[in-house]
A and B are shown apart, each in its own frame.
Chain A
């Protein structure tokens, strides 16, 4: 479809050339499709199937139909487990609170790292370092020892004021403070992505803006931010996904325990993880709707024109 829109005159040649291009496309993506269909899609479909039935794990898997309606497992998640809805709500609110903090923090750090200072590469390394240990068991040990919390905040008057708030708002905020360092550690990739974007902003743009009398603050809003806006969306999605599927997440632990507990059963855990996936998808959709590009496109486009001037362009 998009091909036709780009080159309307191509219409008459749809036959062999288009087919050839399609063929190469499928060829390039085929290994990935095979891998994902076998180890993700098939597994996901099976787990969906499991969540709608009663699973007996013996020598292989035997599925029994559910006795009390097809949604029995899903209903059970909300009715029998006291913890799940609370943890899920806490997770959701916590995610919404943490996301802007991580994004803002990594953007600020990226801006600082992009400025001309000495030992720049050393600093860049240090800020990326937590990424390479973030998955290890080290992280959970550090958190357990309280390294990740800011000690001043917990005794601070701020929290006692906040504790007047309803529990479901207060809890995530206090978690936010106690996990502040954790947030910093989580932002290595985001910093890197922003940095890549910032390095691509042509310096001439800033010089031109400066000559026209723009302050640093103004050129940040008018030049820097529009350029990195697509990256903000990318980073937000990445952040939500890593926070949602990371090992230190309470819900994941809950699902993990339920998976290997005989009393609750495997299908129950499957129902839980599908509910969880739906919640994460909704959050991602909201993020996407909020941050997708609308009117800013022309700014980015014009920058592109500036840079590729001199490179032979076919159509123009």
Chain B
């Protein structure tokens, strides 16, 4: 247990003291890795293996048939697939950027500033956090139609920008930024915006990265805004399109769904790999507390 506390220097090479850690970590890590192995395997399964009973985990005769079916189906539709990809990218990028900006600003205000109704606002956020999203779809539809943004990109972007979970997570990290740092900056004459940009943002980068990943996968996989708030195909997203293709009800639909799942998953993985160093490692060097 002593080693857990991190009292030792970083080992340069393998030492037998590390064996117990691997004994715990490796089996659990294998379990954690299962879903990814499964997604990849599943997408390459030919028809007979997809429906095999009992289901098999690994593919034995990998084939590209699912992808071929998927692109064939995509080729028959009137709108090119690139349009859906563009829509998805645009919407996701806008939501991630705006929602991180809004959440960090709000978190900074809630955590480090003093004004009336501060606690009430945070309570409201906590209430919104718990509320079932399904229950607000119809009121949201009414709002969106009243705003006159039905069937536009705004209908995708605006409802998803304020994410209570994101604010909640980020605020906890801003709480950890020492007040003395901010006071020092104030003494030097820094205004609120400078403090926000030069102190808060750099120090909570890990939280921002985590929040961004959460928002990204929420938006990227979201099919509800497409099916509820839009009617023309031209503004719908890739997730929605993939979903309609793969739930067409045919036998091939299953295989296409598997292929679509892999395609939808790849951007998640890429983003994570790009961000993982800032998610995982900067916390140690950020000088918090």
- SS class, residues of chain A in contact with chain B: helix
Beta-carbon contact of A118 and B180 below 8 Å: no
Binds A, one of B68-76, B80-88, B159-167, B230-238: B159-167
- CB-based nearest A residue for B223: A137
Q: Is A104 an interface residue (CB 8 A)?
A: no
Give residues of chain A (74-115) contacting chain B, Cβ–Cβ below 8 Å: 108-109, 111-115
Q: Is B79 an interface residue (CB 8 A)?
A: no
- Rounded to whole angstroms, the CA-CA distance of A237 and B169 in the bound complex is 10
Residue-wise, chain B 102-140 has the 8 Å CB interface mask toward A (1 for contact) of 110110111001111010010011111111111111111
Q: Which residues on the B side are within 8 Å of A36 (C-beta)?
A: 124-125, 128, 162, 164
Q: Is B249 an interface residue (CB 8 A)?
A: no
Binds B, one of A160-168, A214-222, A289-297: A214-222
Q: Is A11 an interface residue (CB 8 A)?
A: no
Beta-carbon contact of B133 and A304 below 8 Å: no
- For the complex formed, measure the closest distance between the CB of A150 and the CB atoms of chain B, giving whole angstroms: 9
Beta-carbon contact of A139 and B35 below 8 Å: yes
Beta-carbon contact of A117 and B22 below 8 Å: yes
- For the complex formed, measure the closest distance between the CB of A118 and the CB atoms of chain B, giving whole angstroms: 6
Beta-carbon contact of B272 and A129 below 8 Å: yes
- Rounded to whole angstroms, the CA-CA distance of A126 and B273 in the bound complex is 11
Q: Which residues on the B side are within 8 Å of A42 (C-beta)?
A: 139, 143
Q: Which of B39, B116, B277 contacts A22 (CB 8 A)?
A: B116
Q: Which of B159, B269, B283 contacts A200 (CB 8 A)?
A: B283
Q: Which residues on the B side are within 8 Å of A137 (C-beta)?
A: 257, 261
Beta-carbon contact of A135 and B221 below 8 Å: yes
Beta-carbon contact of A132 and B217 below 8 Å: yes
Question: With A21-B115, A118-B11, A255-B135 known to touch, is A28 a contact of B31 (CB < 8 Å)?
Answer: no
Beta-carbon contact of B5 and A116 below 8 Å: no
Q: Which of B134, B164, B271, B276 contacts A273 (CB 8 A)?
A: B134
Q: Which of A113, A126, A133, A266 contacts B268 (CB 8 A)?
A: A133
Q: Is A158 an interface residue (CB 8 A)?
A: no
New contact pairs (13) apart from A130-B35, A200-B288, CB-CB < 8 Å: A61-B138, A112-B24, A112-B25, A114-B6, A136-B264, A142-B38, A195-B280, A201-B6, A216-B3, A224-B5, A269-B135, A281-B127, A304-B289
| Pairs A–B under 8 Å by Cβ, sample size 22 | A33-B106, A42-B143, A50-B138, A112-B25, A116-B9, A118-B18, A126-B32, A133-B217, A135-B221, A138-B35, A142-B34, A184-B32, A195-B280, A200-B289, A216-B2, A219-B5, A220-B1, A223-B5, A241-B168, A255-B135, A259-B135, A311-B180
